[in-house]
Amino acid sequence: MLETLPLDLLKPRPVPQALLLGLQQRFGERCNTALAMREQHGRDESPFDVPPPDVVVFAESAEDVAFVVALANQHAVPVIPYGAGSSLEGHLLAVQGGISLDVSRMQRILQVHAEDLTVTVQAGVTRSQLNAELRHAGLFFPIDPGADATLGGMAATRASGTNAVRYGTMRENVLGLSVVTASGEQIRTGTRARKSSAGYDLTRLFVGSEGTLGVITELTLRIYPLPEAVSAAVCFFPSIDAAVQTAIQIIQLGVPIARCELLDAHAIRAVNAHDKLGLQELPMLLMEFHGSPASVAEQAQTVQDIARDLGGEDFEWATTPEARTRLWAARHHAYLSGLQTKPGCRSVTTDICVPISRLAEIINASVAEVEATGLAYFIVGHVGDGNFHMAYLIDPLIPAERETAERLSHQMVTRALRLEGTCSGEHGVGLHKQGFLVDEAGEGAVALMRSVKQALDPRNIMNPGKIFAV
Amino acid sequence: MLETLPLDLLKPRPVPQALLLGLQQRFGERCNTALAMREQHGRDESPFDVPPPDVVVFAESAEDVAFVVALANQHAVPVIPYGAGSSLEGHLLAVQGGISLDVSRMQRILQVHAEDLTVTVQAGVTRSQLNAELRHAGLFFPIDPGADATLGGMAATRASGTNAVRYGTMRENVLGLSVVTASGEQIRTGTRARKSSAGYDLTRLFVGSEGTLGVITELTLRIYPLPEAVSAAVCFFPSIDAAVQTAIQIIQLGVPIARCELLDAHAIRAVNAHDKLGLQELPMLLMEFHGSPASVAEQAQTVQDIARDLGGEDFEWATTPEARTRLWAARHHAYLSGLQTKPGCRSVTTDICVPISRLAEIINASVAEVEATGLAYFIVGHVGDGNFHMAYLIDPLIPAERETAERLSHQMVTRALRLEGTCSGEHGVGLHKQGFLVDEAGEGAVALMRSVKQALDPRNIMNPGKIFAV
């Protein structure tokens, strides 16, 4: 039993026959109204039960996208951009019906400028596809949410992942976009220059707009040389607090660590089972260092010294690329591995991010609170950023478990805001965190967001009902 | 003789007596209509001749700002935020009359969170004031435009400076803002967390909005530990091309250089005269390396190898803090020093930024074009970013010189856009680059900016006539 949305979010709009005919005429088999296809596009990793979209259209070009959006605008019908379907916050759900616009076939890598460390791709390219293409040129794109998401989707939710502590998030790594606006017009934002003071920062207005202001069709991204030296290590701690304190000190000392991930004992148990890793079932930091051989050695030494002082056991180094890949693959599977520890469960997942000095306080308090309820959970976290996820594992047949999880999640967000943090580090607001957004930003700032939305999408066709009610 | 603006930009609006009375009643002597004060607030480093604002108000709090903006909104009278007055693009000019709202007395440093590497300041704090406060805690704020600008002004123009190649620009270093919107309401954007996916990126919408969307009253900024080791060096080259090629290779190799500045022989001559430096009058790179002692040594060695291969003479190291300070002070004075090489001159200054691989091409072409005209000029550049400034020194009494400079500037921007760069790396659009912005972003994107402006400032009171005509 999935969660039922508040009724005021569900406002299906009529889809006129003329619109459907117009889509069928242009797209033929790429316009699909079969229930199975619509249901597949009407679901994501969020726990909501919402009727599927009325129709799924597969775009293969920016012109396809512009056609769909212009027609939808004419008929005031919603358009929901769809990439890999890996959203955790209900971004894809057709709460007002309409068209699921699938851009996953727009997967051409258009330009690789190794000499400038930029790349231009279509929105449906996934992060792993891009990295497979870049690897042979000695380059990589660092942003890596758990899922193999599309780059368009990652921009739309302002995604980050394990490398953000060193390389930033999509906010810092998108140089420019091609966007189809709500009227069906194609615009470009940004250039290939590293910086610019030319006008409003439309690039960063669309990054994180969750499909509510337009459809991203192309992205120009920063890429990076593969580091000369890479080393990864795991380190086990007697308590979560000791692991988190280590992460805090690493950041406060300014160590340019590339990745600094926390897994609690529950998460380790899950990845051990799923990926056959045999790791000790203790709170663990999973770290990676990038740089010259000397710099990597220096960073590693500093971090070992900090960890030892806090009771961390000696590092285990993953020196071969294969061993590293295995560890990071396990980290990326952690969410799914965790779900499998409680068969049939669903997850309520938190995403708060706080100033680094406040991280231990909020993790310790959150662990105490969940332990007191007996609810199953696990923790994974981009702790170098002050960001972590607690997944509460609930039996969908037991409403009390969901209520408990939602109460714990609310307590955690309230605490995060008091500590000057945010309700969402990287997953976005979607359907689930709209109340939290108001708590965080205030009514005035949300009203301002809403007026931007109304100015850019006066008929409210772009992914309506997400981020805030309009 | 300053340049006369196109008449359609000059649209003075009446300032009703009721408004003036309301301001005088609240602000007393902090409300000033004396001509000298108005003229001082109606001028910046730009070459335009515009009547002064009608009144100058000195705000000392966000509440003062909110009062002024609400009253101005009621009477549909322009409000022009004023910080240090160091804009180069006419941002401060009262093209539609109205109130110059001086926030330079809002200079309290509100919070220093060394443990999180964040600081919260009022908008009138200058970069040098902040750094003086941070130094004793072993911290610094890296963004350093040539002038000792206010942090509010730096955010409003999305400023950068010499450290941007390593630390980013105001875009990357503002975590959150307090803003008075056009209705006089106070809102906050962002939090102290390093990253967030919570709603539209209002912070970055206001950063670079040049006072046209609201008045920034407070900023929360990222700060950095003073590096363990710092070394600065100068290196001289037989040609500008060789110096630029060196910078390109440094960036392409991924050397984490902290500062990488070009000065041409004319700029060297100017700083030698102004700062009594005795540098060779040859194209020069002025560089700085930050990190651990080992990392700094490694970076310096890599850079020396590159420079030597390209004909750079052996490095001269500035090992003492005093020697470094002297060099960087000279760099920050370069603009004013350059102006003094041609007494009575004014400058037309370019600000293009291109992908790094295109930098040599555009500098070489721009030098050839200016040399062919015989116009005096000098070049300084944040070449590690692909950004440089050519200052054309013109006699304001000789209209042909201005025409030549404007033509050269236009040619350079056209070339920069063809090379996928931007018309403004860090100075902003203001009055002078509005045509270039349309060339760069396209009519559609500028129309979108305009609709954001209209939504957030329906009576067009916030610094009207800047970035684009409304």
Element holding B234 (H helix, E strand):
strand B229-236
Query: What one-letter code names the amino acid at A9?
Result: L
Strand partners, B353: B387, B422
Place of tokens 């291969």: B309
Which among A158, A194, A449 has CB closest to B386? A194
Q: Is the pLDDT of residue A4 over 70?
A: no
Mean pLDDT of chain A: 95
Q: Is the pLDDT of residue B161 over 70?
A: yes
CA atoms within 13 A on the CB side of A281: 9
- Across residues B233-248, what is the average pLDDT? 96
**Is the Cβ pair A202, B169 closer than 8 Å?**
no
Domain edges within chain A: 3-104, 109-225, 229-418
Question: Among 3.40.50.300, 3.30.43.10, 1.20.1250.20, 3.40.1190.20, what is the CATH number of B3-104?
Answer: 3.30.43.10
Q: Which chain B residues touch A91 with a CB distance below 8 Å?
A: none
Rounded CA-CA distance A417/A435 in Å is 13
Beta strands in B25-134 (DSSP E): 31-32, 48-49, 55-58, 79-82, 99-102, 109-113, 118-122
DSSP state of B338: H
Rounded CA-CA distance B294/B57 in Å is 52
**Contact, B468 vs B450, CB < 8 A?**
yes
Rounded CA-CA distance A202/B440 in Å is 13
Which among B198, B295, B298 has CB closest to A441? B198
At the top level of CATH, which class does the domain A229-418 belong to? alpha beta
Q: Which chain B residues touch A445 with a CB distance below 8 Å?
A: 187-189, 199, 202
Q: Is the pLDDT of residue B10 over 90?
A: no
Reduce the DSSP state of residue B379 to 3 states and report it. strand
Which among B187, B205, B355 has CB closest to A201? B205
Distance from CA of A280 to the nearest CA of B (A): 31
Q: Is the pLDDT of residue A60 over 80?
A: yes
Provide the residue count of chain B.
470
Q: Does ipTM exceed 0.90?
A: yes
Rounded CA-CA distance B30/B58 in Å is 5
Reduce the DSSP state of residue B440 to 3 states and report it. helix
**Is the Cβ pair B205, A204 closer than 8 Å?**
yes
Q: Is the pLDDT of residue B4 over 70?
A: no
pLDDT at residue A92, as a whole number? 96
pLDDT-based confidence at residue A7 (cuts at 50, 70, 90) = low
Which among A169, A172, A193 has CB closest to B386? A193
Q: Is the pLDDT of residue A413 over 60?
A: yes
Q: Is the pLDDT of residue A2 over 50?
A: no
Nearest-Cα residue of chain B relative to residue A452 = B452
Cα diameter, chain B:
70
Strand partners, B139: B225
**Is the Cβ pair B420, A191 closer than 8 Å?**
yes
Place of tokens 């396809």: A64
Stronger pLDDT, A101 or B318, i.e. the higher one? A101
- Across residues A44-61, what is the average pLDDT? 91
Cα dist from A66 to A92, A96, B168, whole Å: 19, 21, 34
Residues A364-389: tens digit of each pLDDT: 999 999 999 999 999 999 999 999 99
Nearest to A24 by CA among A61, A54, A62: A54
Helices (H), B14-126: 17-27, 35-41, 62-75
Rounded CA-CA distance B275/B270 in Å is 8
Residues A93-139: tens digit of each pLDDT: 999 999 999 999 999 999 999 999 999 999 999 999 999 999 999 99
pLDDT at residue B5, as a whole number? 60
Q: What are φ and ψ of residue A70, in 5° steps?
A: -60, -45
Rounded CA-CA distance B417/B435 in Å is 13
Nearest to A90 by CA among A212, A202, A206, A216: A212
pLDDT at residue B3, as a whole number? 57
Rounded CA-CA distance A47/A49 in Å is 7
Element holding B334 (H helix, E strand):
helix B321-340
Contacts of A298 (CB under 8 A, 6+ apart): B292, B294, B295
Rounded CA-CA distance B220/B173 in Å is 9
- Across residues B147-166, what is the average pLDDT? 97
Residues A148-180: tens digit of each pLDDT: 999 999 999 999 999 999 999 999 999 999 999
Stronger pLDDT, B9 or B402, i.e. the higher one? B402
Element holding B231 (H helix, E strand):
strand B229-236
Nearest-Cα residue of chain B relative to residue A185 = B444
- Across residues B380-388, what is the average pLDDT? 97
Nearest to B49 by CA among B85, B7, B1: B1
- Across residues A246-270, what is the average pLDDT? 95
Nearest-Cα residue of chain A relative to residue B419 = A192
**Is the Cβ pair A298, B294 closer than 8 Å?**
yes
**Is the Cβ pair B197, A351 closer than 8 Å?**
yes
Q: Is the pLDDT of residue B218 over 70?
A: yes
Q: Which residues of B149-173 are buried (b: 16+ CB within 10 A; e: fewer)?
A: bbbbbbbbbbbbbbbbbbbbbbbbb
Distance from CA of B432 to the nearest CA of A (A): 11
Token reading at A133:
């293409």
pLDDT-based confidence at residue A421 (cuts at 50, 70, 90) = very high
Rounded CA-CA distance B349/B346 in Å is 10
Question: Any idea which of A183-197, A228-242, B313-327 has the lowest mean pLDDT?
Answer: B313-327
Q: Is the pLDDT of residue B244 over 80?
A: yes
Burial bucket for residue B228 (CB in 10 Å: 0-12, 13-18, 19+)? middle
Distance from CA of A422 to the nearest CA of B (A): 6
A171, A194, A255, A451: best to mutate for the B interface, most B CBs within 10 A: A194
Which among B191, B433, B451 has CB closest to A422? B191
Strand partners, A232: A288, A318
Residues B80-128: tens digit of each pLDDT: 999 999 999 999 999 999 999 999 999 999 999 999 999 999 999 999 9
Distance from CA of A34 to the nearest CA of B (A): 33
- Across residues B254-280, what is the average pLDDT? 94
- Across residues B269-289, what is the average pLDDT? 94
CA atoms within 13 A on the CB side of B415: 20
Rounded CA-CA distance A330/A332 in Å is 5
Query: Does A109-225 carry CATH code 3.30.465.10?
Result: yes
Which among B116, B208, B448 has CB closest to A197? B208
Place of tokens 């009407």: A42
Query: What one-letter code names the amino acid at B58?
Result: F
Rounded CA-CA distance B42/B50 in Å is 7
- Across residues A2-31, what is the average pLDDT? 86
Rounded CA-CA distance B238/B309 in Å is 12
pLDDT at residue A49, as a whole number? 81
- Across residues B329-341, what is the average pLDDT? 93
Q: Is the pLDDT of residue B1 over 50?
A: no
pLDDT at residue A389, as a whole number? 97
Token reading at A49:
């039960």
What is the percent of chain A with per-residue pLDDT over 90, rounded to a whole number?
A: 89
Q: Which chain A residues touch B421 with a CB distance below 8 Å?
A: 191-193
Per-residue H/E/C for chain A: CCEECCHHHCCCCCCCHHHHHHHHHHHHHHEECCHHHHHHHCCCCCCEECCCCCEEEECCCHHHHHHHHHHHHHHCCCEEEECCCCCCCCCCCCCCCCEEEECCCCCCEEEEECCCCEEEEECCCEHHHHHHHHHCCCEECCCECCCCCEHHHHHHCCCCECCHHHHCCHHHHEEEEEEEECCCCEEEEECCCCCCCCCCCHHHHHCCCCCCCEEEEEEEEECEECCCEEEEEEEECCCHHHHHHHHHHHHHCCCCCCEEEEECHHHHHHHHHHHCCCCCCCCEEEEEEEECHHHHHHHHHHHHHHHHHCCCCCCEEECCHHHHHHHHHHHHHHHHHHHCCCCCCEEEECECECCHHHHHHHHHHHHHHHHHHCCEEEEEEEHHHCEEEEEEEECCCCHHHHHHHHHHHHHHHHHHHHCCCECECCCCCCCCCHHHHHHHHCHHHHHHHHHHHHHHCCCCCECCCCCCCC
pLDDT-based confidence at residue B313 (cuts at 50, 70, 90) = confident
pLDDT-based confidence at residue B9 (cuts at 50, 70, 90) = confident
**Is the Cβ pair A422, B169 closer than 8 Å?**
no
pLDDT at residue B469, as a whole number? 87
